Chains A and B, each alone.
Chain A
Amino acid sequence: MNKLPNKKEETLGGYIVHGVPFPIETDAEGLAWLKRMTPIQIEQDYRITYLHSYAQDSPWFAGLTNKKLLANQDIESGYTYANPRGHDMYSGDETVWIDITEREAAIHAFTVCHFGSEEFLPETPFILALIEFEGVNTLLLTRILGLDPFAADLDWIGMEVSPKFLRNSKLKPTDVYFTPK
């Protein structure tokens, strides 16, 4: 039987209060009472809009917009990164772009997030996975669709998957996701 919540979620917000209890007289007795008062807590809003540059990694995002999954490779060694990476961590040399859209891919590790950060709470439960690609030395973090998040199973590891691309690109790494083949 599913366990139902037995505690109401606490949230900020409520009445705006003007004025708080304070001694009528600031005599010795009144001032001594101040050491016993409960703390005043207020809400402070904090909003920021950043202008974020993908910089040298921009082609990777441009690739997703155009339904291509790019990777970076060190020419000399052939060491290949599924994530965008401008320089190879071993040779220190600049990497080149390659297309891995059609490579065989499989789930290397996964989880089902039943909770999440505030930004992603409305999307729970969702499946996060690390994908391994044929001939690629590192993994890629992504979302998996097409599997039941309430039936998580270790046997999902090793499952062959293929990339799907959003038609309406958001210029985010979630422009690509993977589904079972």
Chain B
Amino acid sequence: MRTVYAISGGVSKFAKSRPDKTFPAIVKEAYDYAIRDIGLDFPTFTKIVDGSVASYFSDHFTRQLMAAIMAQDYLGLCPKPSHRVEGGGATGGLCFQEVWKSIASGHMDVCVAYGFETMSHVETWKGNEFIALASDVSTDYPVGGFYSGYYAMMVTRHMKEYGTTVEEMAHVSVKNHINAYHNPYAQKRNRYSVDDVRNSPMVAWPLTRLDICVMSDGAAATILVSEEGLKKLEEAGAVIKRPLVKVTGIGRGTDAMRMADRPHVSYDYFIENYATEQEKNDAAVMDYYKKLWDKGTRYPGVHSFRAGRTAGNMAYKHAGIEDPLGELDFVELHDAYTSSEIQTYEDLGLCLYGEGGKFAASGKAFMPGINYDLDLADEPVCPVNPSGGLIACGHPVGATGLMQAVFAIWQLQNSVEKHFGDGTLQLKEPKKGAIHSHAGTGTYVSVSILEKED
């Protein structure tokens, strides 16, 4: 496999509604930004780029089949090769990895990932219905299809198993909203308190409106290249920031569409198949897990995302990461719900299974130098969702995973201040970051590792 560099990206402003532009024109905002950021003009880049992969989730929201080809056409990329990927909420992350494959395999030297979703064309509750159609329409949807309800069931089990509290969940919302206060691309830039989160309208007990991301219109694009692609672009006049950002690891996992069908495996099976290498090598951790199983915990059940753990383990192995919390400088993860951010801390090995709630309220996942008006016991170790995540940035599904990639590229290029007009969210010399994309109740999950070259 060849080395893959992530050299540039662009994001449209995520908004509740963008009736001013068609979806291809919104994609073009992000695409043009990515091209401009490497100092090329549109025709020059068009001549060099080998192809693209398009990302959008729902034909229902666009009420347009083959929407991707309309974006490809509008971007002037025809007749270059392209295809659409779709994997629910993980669509953007999967798209990013498909582009990675095109470059790593030698099939292309310069390839663009672009993604979008325009969710404002229907009322919110119709939108919820569309999303709920991503559950089994024979057995699950007719019972009361509602994704917030599905995730709420998962977290009540997490609370029961591990003692996770709603206040710990609210810490995630406070963190991500306040981070987004400094991100001009974010849809919601508000300062909230734990009380604000708990006092907002109850949507699906115990999740309130501020525990849940919103629907959005938006687009994002990233450009990935090989060594040869880099050369071609630079010979054409591109100015590509050094040190370069490489994509050093990719991983994916899946799980049953009906969360009711997911297994509840034994301790031995968990250790053999799902424990991280770090967990396996620590006798105290093994003992901790043994005690959990003795108390009745089974894995993954509905409280954990086996697909997330599988994707994380695969990406870490690929990138040579042995200690995620110690080695990752930041993570942009799929926080469609505060609860799923907590569950994902555990899946990604940032903390042990069962400790996600405490980790959320500890301060370890917060940004340095930002006042959250919270009493946090620990200093930041690995900021999670420095951009504000889905909860505050919004979640135009097909764009979301690519938005995470763009913000990760900007962190590693040390260019957050340039793009945001505000350097508050720039971490000090980050070396390595992870992006995590997640589909309906953990059915598809992707994890990609981005790393600054020495």
Does chain A bind chain B?
Answer: yes
- Determine which of A109, A118, A139, A141 lies in contact with B126 in the assembled complex, contact meaning CB atoms within 8 Å: A118
Beta-carbon contact of A154 and B139 below 8 Å = no
Beta-carbon contact of A120 and B145 below 8 Å = yes
- Determine which of B202, B264, B302 lies in contact with A114 in the assembled complex, contact meaning CB atoms within 8 Å: B202
Report the minimum CB–CB distance from B10 to chain A (whole Å): 22
B212 nearest in chain A by CB position: A115
A180 to B281, CA, bound (A): 45
Beta-carbon contact of B203 and A118 below 8 Å = no
A84 to B260, CA, bound (A): 11
B18 nearest in chain A by CB position: A39
Beta-carbon contact of A173 and B143 below 8 Å = yes
A109 to B155, CA, bound (A): 8
B369 within 8 A of A: no
A112 to B129, CA, bound (A): 17
Beta-carbon contact of B263 and A137 below 8 Å = yes
Interface centre among A57, A81, A109, A126 (most CB of B within 10 A): A109
Chain A residues whose CB sits within 8 angstroms of the CB of B160 once the complex forms: 109, 154, 157-158
Known contacts A3-B199, A52-B138, A154-B160: does B152 contact A142 (CB below 8 Å)? no
CB proximity to B under 8 Å, residues A35-69? 38-39, 41, 44, 46, 52, 54, 57
A113 within 8 A of B: yes
A128 within 8 A of B: yes
Beta-carbon contact of A152 and B302 below 8 Å = no
A112 to B139, CA, bound (A): 19
Beta-carbon contact of B261 and A85 below 8 Å = yes
Chain A residues whose CB sits within 8 angstroms of the CB of B319 once the complex forms: none
B144 within 8 A of A: yes
- Determine which of B20, B152, B157 lies in contact with A108 in the assembled complex, contact meaning CB atoms within 8 Å: B157
Beta-carbon contact of B143 and A115 below 8 Å = no
Q: Could you give, for residues 408-425 of chain B, a 1 whenever the CB lies within 8 Å of some chain A CB and a 0 otherwise?
A: 000000000000000000
Known contacts A84-B139, A115-B125, A128-B149: does B258 contact A141 (CB below 8 Å)? yes
Known contacts A109-B157, A110-B153: does B206 contact A152 (CB below 8 Å)? yes
Beta-carbon contact of B125 and A44 below 8 Å = no
- Determine which of B129, B153, B261 lies in contact with A129 in the assembled complex, contact meaning CB atoms within 8 Å: B153
A85 to B202, CA, bound (A): 34
Interface centre among A83, A121, A128, A142 (most CB of B within 10 A): A128
A118 nearest in chain B by CB position: B125
A114 to B204, CA, bound (A): 6
Beta-carbon contact of A128 and B261 below 8 Å = no
Interface centre among B20, B153, B156, B203 (most CB of A within 10 A): B156
Beta-carbon contact of B260 and A139 below 8 Å = yes
A140 within 8 A of B: yes
A111 within 8 A of B: yes
Chain B residues whose CB sits within 8 angstroms of the CB of A130 once the complex forms: 153, 157, 259-260, 302
Interface centre among B19, B131, B203, B262 (most CB of A within 10 A): B203
Beta-carbon contact of B143 and A141 below 8 Å = yes
B146 within 8 A of A: yes
B131 nearest in chain A by CB position: A117
A82 within 8 A of B: yes
A120 to B129, CA, bound (A): 9
A103 within 8 A of B: no
Beta-carbon contact of A117 and B258 below 8 Å = no
B374 within 8 A of A: no
Beta-carbon contact of B140 and A117 below 8 Å = no
B128 nearest in chain A by CB position: A117
Q: Could you give, for residues 148-183 of chain B, a 1 whenever the CB lies within 8 Å of some chain A CB and a 0 otherwise?
A: 111011101101100000000000000000000000
Q: Could you give, for residues 3-28 of chain B, a 1 whenever the CB lies within 8 Å of some chain A CB and a 0 otherwise?
A: 00000000000000001100000000
Chain B residues whose CB sits within 8 angstroms of the CB of A102 once the complex forms: none
Q: Could you give, for residues 103-139 of chain B, a 1 whenever the CB lies within 8 Å of some chain A CB and a 0 otherwise?
A: 0000000000000000000010110110110000111
B142 nearest in chain A by CB position: A172
A12 within 8 A of B: yes
A154 to B259, CA, bound (A): 20
Q: Chain A residues in contact with chain B, CB under 8 A? A: 3, 10-12, 38-39, 41, 44, 46, 52, 54, 57, 81-85, 89, 108-121, 123, 126, 128-130, 137-143, 152, 154, 157-158, 172-174
Known: A116-B145, A138-B261. 8 other contacts (CB 8 A): A111-B156, A113-B203, A115-B203, A118-B123, A118-B125, A123-B144, A143-B143, A174-B143
Q: Could you show 18 A-B contacts with beta carbons less than 8 Å apart?
A: A3-B199, A83-B139, A111-B207, A112-B204, A113-B146, A115-B128, A115-B148, A116-B149, A117-B125, A117-B126, A120-B144, A120-B146, A128-B143, A130-B153, A141-B143, A152-B206, A157-B157, A173-B143
* A-B complex: 4 closest residue pairs judged by Cβ atoms: A111-B152, A117-B129, A139-B260, A109-B157
